[in-house]
């Protein structure tokens, strides 16, 4: 029996950094600690933090009611107005925005400040995209589909700057750039897609094509885990989507001689190791 573990699995750099920031803050103590949204799409991590007194703030209204404590901003980042609001309320915050997302904030702030209309290739309701929009100082449009790109129009002399949500599909971004570029605007294109997602998907696809069963570990709300599952399922019919070891029972699958394991960006190492042990014990 062979177990193949993906090398690119579990927390990406930005998520690890954000989760570590919360645990560091818990250790430091001193006043209530909040995260603006769950720090990671993983129930176990959020529950563990809750047990240590960390509360999740769900929306702006809840945020506005805070009068003390420290708010940790997660890897997705937030718009400028959220930081300003906290400052006005006298609530301190620790910015754990992933540096790759922060870089996009800086780009759109600068380019919109110099008069460019910002285009973001991404999902308009994703918190990262909402945050990026919140750093624009002028017009901004979010393009999620190629059709939206086709339909995009602005005054002929408009200058554009196109960036991407860090997890946007690279091939779709290329197509989108091609469509917008043909329209003849003065345009700056910056590929701000983060390599972590693509590397993970490419490796998972390769492993899934080589094994009898594939296990994808991650929270059910994690979109990058869902995507990994879809990719693996296409390569390997016996693909299992699990959140923790107890969700998995391979004992009935007698013809399995090799198992691959990967995990979404929101899955802690501890859970991946437990699953690995569980698989070895079952087979
Ligand atoms: Fe950052 Fe890339 Fe992860 S942008 S949060 S390292 S997927």
pLDDT tier for residue 252 given thresholds of 50, 70 and 90: low
Intra-chain end-to-end CA distance of the chain, in Å: 7
Pick the catalytic residue: 128, 157, 178, 203?
Answer: 128
CA of 15 to the centre of ligand 1 (A): 7
| Euclidean distance between CA atoms 207 and 259, whole angstroms | 9
State residue 70's pLDDT score. 95
Angular region, 92: left φ>0, alpha ψ -120 to 50, beta rest: beta
Q: For a pLDDT cut of 90, what percent of the chain falls above it?
A: 78
Give the count of beta carbons closer than 10 Å to the beta carbon of residue 144.
Answer: 19
**Atom 1 in ligand 1: residue holding the nearest Cα:** 14
The rounded radius of gyration (Å) of the Cα atoms in the chain is: 21
Alpha helices in 13-79 (DSSP H): 13-28, 43-51, 60-64
What is the mean predicted confidence (pLDDT) over 55-75? 93
Residue 14 beta carbon below 6 angstroms from any ligand 1 atom:
yes
Cα–Cα nearest to 71, from 44, 47, 89: 89
State residue 136's pLDDT score. 98
Residue 13 beta carbon below 6 angstroms from any ligand 1 atom:
yes
Residue 144 bears catalytic tag: no
Residue 193 beta carbon below 6 angstroms from any ligand 1 atom:
no
State residue 166's pLDDT score. 93
Q: Does position 17 have pLDDT exceeding 90, yes or no?
A: yes
Residue 18 beta carbon below 6 angstroms from any ligand 1 atom:
no
Angle among Cα 152, 82, 109 to the nearest 5 degrees reads: 45
State residue 249's pLDDT score. 74
| Euclidean distance between CA atoms 268 and 243, whole angstroms | 11
Residue 166 beta carbon below 6 angstroms from any ligand 1 atom:
yes
Element spanning 200, H or E: helix 195-210
Mutation choice for ligand 1 from 10, 21, 95, 98, CB with most ligand atoms inside 8 A: 98
Strand order in the sheet with 2-5: 2-5, 258-263, 213-217, 239-242
**Atom 5 in ligand 1: residue holding the nearest Cα:** 14
Sign, CA dihedral 7-192-23-57, equals negative
pLDDT tier for residue 220 given thresholds of 50, 70 and 90: confident
| Euclidean distance between CA atoms 188 and 199, whole angstroms | 26
Helices (H) and strands (E) in the chain — how many of each? 11, 12
State residue 254's pLDDT score. 66
Q: Does position 160 have pLDDT exceeding 90, yes or no?
A: yes
CA of 265 to the centre of ligand 1 (A): 8
What is the mean predicted confidence (pLDDT) over 155-172? 93
- Higher confidence at residue 253 or residue 75? 75
What is the mean predicted confidence (pLDDT) over 135-161? 97
- CB contact burial 62-74 (16+ within 10 A = b; e otherwise): ebeebeeebbbbb
State residue 44's pLDDT score. 85
Minimum-distance ligand 1 atom for the alpha carbon of 98: 1
Is the Cβ–Cβ distance between 165 and 120 less than 8 Å? yes
Q: For a pLDDT cut of 70, what percent of the chain falls above it?
A: 98
Which pLDDT tens digit goes with each residue over 21-31?
999 999 998 78
State residue 253's pLDDT score. 66
Q: What is the mean pLDDT of the chain?
A: 93
- Tell me how far CA of residue 201 lies from CA of 98, 135, 161, 170, 236, in angstroms: 20, 30, 28, 12, 14
Which pLDDT tens digit goes with each residue over 2-12?
899 999 988 99
């Amino acid at each position: 029996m062979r177990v193949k573990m993906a090398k690119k699995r579990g927390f990406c750099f930005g998520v690890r950094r954000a989760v570590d920031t919360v645990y560091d803050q818990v250790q430091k103590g001193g006043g209530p600690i909040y995260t603006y949204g769950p720090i990671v799409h993983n129930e176990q991590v959020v529950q563990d933090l809750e047990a240590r007194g960390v509360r999740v703030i769900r929306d702006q209204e809840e945020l506005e009611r805070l009068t003390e404590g420290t708010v940790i901003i997660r890897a997705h980042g937030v718009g400028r107005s959220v930081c300003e609001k906290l400052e006005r309320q006298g609530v301190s915050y620790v910015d754990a925005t992933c540096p790759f997302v922060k870089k996009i904030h800086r780009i759109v702030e600068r380019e919109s400040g110099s008069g460019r209309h910002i285009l973001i290739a991404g999902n308009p309701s994703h918190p990262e995209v909402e945050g990026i929009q919140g750093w624009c100082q002028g017009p901004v449009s979010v393009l999620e589909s190629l059709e939206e790109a086709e339909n995009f129009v602005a005054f002929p002399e408009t200058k554009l700057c196109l960036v991407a949500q860090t997890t946007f599909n690279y091939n779709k971004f290329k197509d989108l750039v091609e469509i917008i570029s043909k329209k003849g605007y003065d345009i700056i294109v910056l590929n701000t897609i983060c390599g972590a997602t693509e590397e993970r998907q490419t490796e998972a696809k390769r492993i899934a094509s080589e094994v009898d069963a594939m296990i994808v570990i991650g929270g059910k709300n994690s979109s990058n885990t869902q995507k990994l599952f879809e990719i693996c399922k296409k390569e390997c019919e016996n693909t299992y989507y699990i959140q923790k070891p107890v969700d998995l029972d391979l004992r009935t699958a007698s013809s399995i001689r090799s198992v691959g394991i990967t995990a979404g960006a929101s899955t802690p190492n501890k859970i991946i190791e437990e699953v690995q042990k569980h698989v070895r014990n079952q087979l």
